[in-house]
Amino acid sequence: MATVIELPLDTYKGPVSPDWCPGCGDYGVLRSVQEAAGKLGILPKDLLIVSGIGCSSNLPGFIHAYGVHSLHGRSIPVATGAHLANTDMKTVITGGDGDGYGIGVGHLIHAMRRNLDVTYIVMDNQIYGLTTGQASPTTSKGQVTKSTPAPNGNLETPINPLALAITCGATFVARGFSGEAKLLTDLIAQGMAHKGFSLIDVFSPCVTYNKVNTYSFFKERVYKLEDEGFDPSDFHRSMTKAYEWTERIPLGVIYKTEQPTYEDGEAILKKGALVKQPTKVDKALFDKFVEHMV
């Protein structure tokens, strides 16, 4: 087992300071990503952060690493291409609930079933923050928002990202909270170290547009699964915890299993990262390919 040399937080300090609203939960997520990378000893040159569109998707610009700020809902296909081109790099996807569970949910489902070895951190504030307060895929039913102003509020049942991830094939599923910094850092580090698709759903309160799902709301309800000796390898118990949304809401590793990754089955990757393989075409192989196609 390789020796891990932890790196200081300043290693990942970006040239631009975050400009989120004061008190935004995304500040905590950014710091936890930096701390997790340092804990694992990942050098900035070996780290890629890919995002879509939204407040939280500005994160790649605030960290010293390779970064791609892609299109709305398209962070996963961009990250997939970059990751498969260079599997030696640690690929982390960051974004919000609208970007990931709304317009990008189709890509999410297929990346999870492939069990790609990437980590997806979703800053779930249960509202569209960048566009000033519309209902998102995780907004509570009945909640009044800019796009659901009637007294009966949001008419749609919110998506359950944890249950979706477990049933679609993600092999590491966790939930964190910006108000629990130490636990969040640990969960992100575990997700990044895990071999397979890791989804970390993070309660990251929007202090400007969501006056329901606040820090106080979560502080009064969240509890840590690790304090109760929970076994995340039990599929059925994990599904029960994924649906637990009452006066008690669980934080921690919800589900974890070891399964072959997409990369394990891809023959060309057995020779190493694509970017490090020779580009010269083997003539015998090429002729065989042409003969097969014709």
pLDDT digits (tens, 9 = 90+) for 38-49: 999 999 999 999
E strands, the chain, where?
47-51, 66-69, 90-96, 119-124, 172-177, 198-203, 222-224, 249-256
Mean pLDDT throughout 154-172? Answer: 98
Contacts of 49 (CB under 8 A, 6+ apart): 33, 59, 60, 63, 65, 66, 67, 68, 92, 93, 94
In the predicted structure, residue 1 carries a pLDDT above the cut 70: no
Lowest mean pLDDT among 123-132, 204-213, 277-286: 277-286
Domains of the chain: 9-265 (3.40.50.970)
The mean of the pLDDT values for the chain is 96
The torsion angles phi and psi of 253, rounded to 5 degrees, stand at -80, 115
Calculate what percentage of the chain has a pLDDT beyond 90.
94
Q: What is the mean pLDDT of residues 130-158?
A: 97
Which residues have a Cβ under 8 Å from the Cβ of 257 and sit 6 or more positions away?
171, 233, 235
Residue 272, pLDDT > 80, answer yes
